[in-house]
Chains A and B, each alone.
Chain A
Amino acid sequence: MSGHHVSSAKFLWGVAIALLFLTYVTVAVTWIHIPEPWNVVVAIAIAVVKSAIVAAFFMHLWWDTKFNLLLLITSIVFFLILIGITLLDTLYRIDPVPSF
């Protein structure tokens, strides 16, 4: 049964160490002052990788039915719809339609 995957203790420890290492990286990159838009991109990218690791291995998505993964992806897509379309308004309040 796909839902009953048993991870080895060694593997779980490995995942945790990877997460702690990425935590160190995300703090460390703030010391080297990456220029404006890219610092956010790097911080988010690391956070996304960390979450993906947690979801895939701690939450067993790697071995789980695909539908549960689909649920997670759906929630992210709809969050992006919420923020994406809202930004169409809030970023363009002052100027009229840019191409006009």
Chain B
Amino acid sequence: MATSESTNIKKIQVRRFKPDENPTSNYLTEERGLWAWMTTVDHKKIGWMYLGSIAIFFAVGGILALLLRTELLTPAQTFFTADAYNQLFTLHGAIMVFFFLVPSVPAALGNFILPLQLGCKDVAFPRVNLLSFYIYVVGALFTLFAIFTGGVDTGWTFYTPYSSSAAGGNVMAMTFGVFILGFSSILTGLNFIVTIHRMRAPGLTWNKLPLFLWALYATSIIQILATPVLAITLLLLTMERLLSIGIFDPALGGDPVLYQHFFWFYSHPAVYIMIVPGFGIISEIISTFSRKHIFGYWAIALSSLAIAFIGFLVWGHHMFVAGQSSLANLVFSFLTFLVGIPTGIKIFNWIATMYKGSIDLKTPMLYVMVFLFLFTIGGFTGIMLGALAVDIHLHDTYYVVAHFHYVMVGGMVMAFLGGLHYWWPKMTGKMYNEMWGRISCAIVFIGFNLTFLPQFVMGSLGMPRRYFNYLEQFQGYHVMSTYGSYILGLGFLMVLIYLTHSIFKGKKAPANPWQSRAMEWQAPSPPPLHNFEHTPVIIHGPYDYHKPMSEFQLGIAGSHNGHGHHEHETETKTVEADK
């Protein structure tokens, strides 16, 4: 394993290890029981615990969204008071961003898949991994506490001076919850970077690293660089409420715009924490279901890093009308356009991968199609909002709301669902119902567009965001959007039902149902407790579909560190792998 950065070539004896199609023991059958789950340091189980938690938060945030949409059916008050409405949209935003989107792919799917793709037994710091989950839980408890002790009505951005002095409810508990949550995110990122650097299987060089891992690597870099700034910002905000320290509060000589700088220094890169792992999933799925080598491997890998870097230079485009200097406006608007370049590179490479491939439109691939369509719309409207003059008109309207839902739901959630379906057989050992998968995907697509396309239109006509009442001329759009949201909710509910059903009644999944060449599919489904019974050796990249499957199942039978292995009757061959 690559413990040093040196690249000396070493000859090693390898044998073929066909993945066990009917594993008698796997990670789900070993270490059973509630206590064993709660104290596990196994990355797969921690991934499941994250998946369960984010599913709960997605459901809560989704129900809040449906309540919001229902309230907006009529121009005047329908069900809720204006104050309740403010709390609803704040909680919807905060829960979806901090408790669902940020941990969704890295902490849930990433935790499960990353060590499998690296061919190692676990992440570098398994106990830290468990700790980060419990930090997440504590952060969530603080948020629940905030909800039941007055709620929060500041919007998910907690802008000062409203949040520091005027806002009612329990802003402090909420911001403190998010502050704690940040450490969970930091520890996950830290763990992933070290794991990718230090735990790669023999032969897995950087140019053979799956693109999902490149994406997680870029994401982790953003997590460790941006999240601490959010932490200090929220700490200062808490102190502002507790001691009136006056750094952000204009009444005490502070500067509220400074808060926005600090906040968006995290929260804009955080947008890429949410979307970049989604890009990684798309790369994996698109190559697998086109049965073709990914087009532009390095372009996709490096564009993830480029997005991570450029993402740090553009935060001020959230503040074009906040009163920052016109020089800053100008610079930020210019820099914002740069983000379009690496994102465009990705889209073109994905399309090029599909070109002349034998495309198999299974459910994960359908979600990729949905992603490409919706994310492109979300991306282009983002470029429009980045243009200074256009933003002055569209700022704080439903146009912005529609834009980021196209990127976050249309992009990220679709990629997440694609990845969930793609890896579901590996995670559970069961196949979901393909027909229901496709039907739900279609319903989600229709529901989503019906919800958010009208919002572009009414936003450009001047409907401001976060408003409880509105002019009657917008009612048609709002009604359409609300009915769309019901359809969207139905789609998500169907996904939940047939996936849950498959766990109990689904067909047994083969080790490699998609005939993928990537490492995680060369382990049994579900994988054993320590992922591989042998030490995998990698000689080809994960997208080399032109090479026979047998060359992707090589390994060393050696049982280092006291773990047993099964005997397989296979030929021995020698490969060169750089140590």
List A residues at the B interface (Cβ < 8 Å).
1-2, 65-67, 74-75, 78, 81-82, 85-86, 88-93, 95-98
In contact, B313 and A89 (Cβ under 8 angstroms): no
| Residues on B with beta carbons closer than 8 Å to the beta carbon of A92 | 325-328
Complex A-B: 23 CB contacts under 8 Å: A2-B4, A65-B5, A75-B225, A78-B225, A82-B229, A85-B313, A85-B315, A85-B332, A86-B258, A89-B257, A89-B261, A89-B325, A89-B327, A89-B328, A92-B327, A92-B328, A93-B323, A95-B325, A96-B325, A96-B327, A97-B326, A97-B327, A98-B327
Selected from B197, B225, B326, B328, the residue in CB contact (under 8 A) with A85 is: B328
* Distance to closest chain A CB from B475 (angstroms): 39
Check B255 for interface membership: any CB of A closer than 8 A. yes
User: Given contacts A93-B323, A93-B324, could you give 19 more A-B pairs where the C-beta distance is less than 8 Å?
Assistant: A2-B4, A66-B5, A78-B225, A78-B312, A81-B312, A82-B229, A85-B328, A85-B332, A88-B325, A89-B257, A89-B316, A89-B324, A89-B328, A90-B258, A91-B325, A92-B325, A92-B328, A96-B325, A98-B327
In contact, A86 and B261 (Cβ under 8 angstroms): yes
Task: Known contacts A78-B312, A85-B313; decide if A67 and B325 are in contact (CB<8 Å).
Answer: no
Selected from B257, B265, B327, the residue in CB contact (under 8 A) with A82 is: B265
| Separation of A2 and B229 alpha carbons in the complex (Å) | 32
Check B331 for interface membership: any CB of A closer than 8 A. yes
Check B330 for interface membership: any CB of A closer than 8 A. yes
**In the complex, how many residues of chain B place their beta carbon closer than 8 angstroms to a beta carbon of chain A?**
23
| Residues on A with beta carbons closer than 8 Å to the beta carbon of B265 | 82, 86
* Distance to closest chain A CB from B494 (angstroms): 43
In contact, A81 and B197 (Cβ under 8 angstroms): no
In contact, B225 and A67 (Cβ under 8 angstroms): no
| Residues on B with beta carbons closer than 8 Å to the beta carbon of A98 | 327
| Separation of A82 and B313 alpha carbons in the complex (Å) | 8
| Residues on A with beta carbons closer than 8 Å to the beta carbon of B313 | 81, 85
| Residues on A with beta carbons closer than 8 Å to the beta carbon of B332 | 85
Which of B5, B257, B326 has the most A CB atoms < 10 Å from its CB?
B326
| Separation of A86 and B313 alpha carbons in the complex (Å) | 10
| Separation of A66 and B197 alpha carbons in the complex (Å) | 13
| Residues on B with beta carbons closer than 8 Å to the beta carbon of A86 | 258, 261, 265
| Residues on B with beta carbons closer than 8 Å to the beta carbon of A1 | 4
* Distance to closest chain A CB from B425 (angstroms): 36
* Distance to closest chain A CB from B250 (angstroms): 13
Interface residues of B in 302-335 (CB under 8 A from A): 312-313, 315-316, 323-328, 330-332
Selected from B225, B229, B255, B328, the residue in CB contact (under 8 A) with A88 is: B328
